[in-house]
């Protein structure tokens, strides 16, 4: 009898991207994990990533730097993007920005 060893799947939603098949007119959601980075690097990464997305798509940015949370939300408002959600966690935040 042969046994197959299966590797465990990663359990962190931040590190795993599942393929998405959006419905027509639906919003696609993307994830950017900047945990461990200090300001201004999460903002720089968010700017670069959001610039690649089509208008209407959302980017969920995981940060663990309070200065980055403030910088990203201010930048989004100043540049015509919409912050749709901010979730606070014990070790950081998740900021969801919809590209304008």
pTM score of the predicted model: 0.75
Residue 90 has pLDDT above 80, yes or no: yes
Helix (H, G, I), strand (E, B) or coil at 48: helix
User: What confidence tier does 9 reach under pLDDT thresholds 50, 70, 90?
Assistant: very low
pLDDT of the residue at 11: 37
Q: Which CATH number fits domain 29-98: 3.30.110.40, 1.10.10.60, 3.90.1720.10, 3.40.640.10?
A: 3.30.110.40
pLDDT of the residue at 26: 79
pLDDT of the residue at 49: 97
The pair of three-digit structure tokens given for residue 18, joined into one six-digit string: 């599942």
Residue found under tokens 């980055």: 68
CA atoms lying within 13 Å on the CB side of residue 86? 15
pLDDT of the residue at 21: 56
Residue 40 has pLDDT above 90, yes or no: yes
């Amino acid at each position: 009898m042969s046994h197959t060893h299966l590797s465990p799947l990663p359990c962190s939603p931040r590190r795993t991207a599942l393929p998405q098949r959006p419905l027509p007119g639906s919003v696609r959601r993307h994830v950017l994990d900047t945990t461990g980075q200090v300001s201004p690097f999460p903002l720089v990464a968010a700017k670069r990533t959001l610039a690649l997305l089509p208008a209407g798509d959302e980017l969920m940015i995981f940060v663990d730097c309070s200065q980055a949370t403030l910088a990203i939300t201010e930048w989004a408002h100043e540049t015509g993007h919409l912050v749709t959600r901010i979730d606070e966690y014990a070790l950081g935040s998740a900021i969801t920005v919809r590209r304008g």
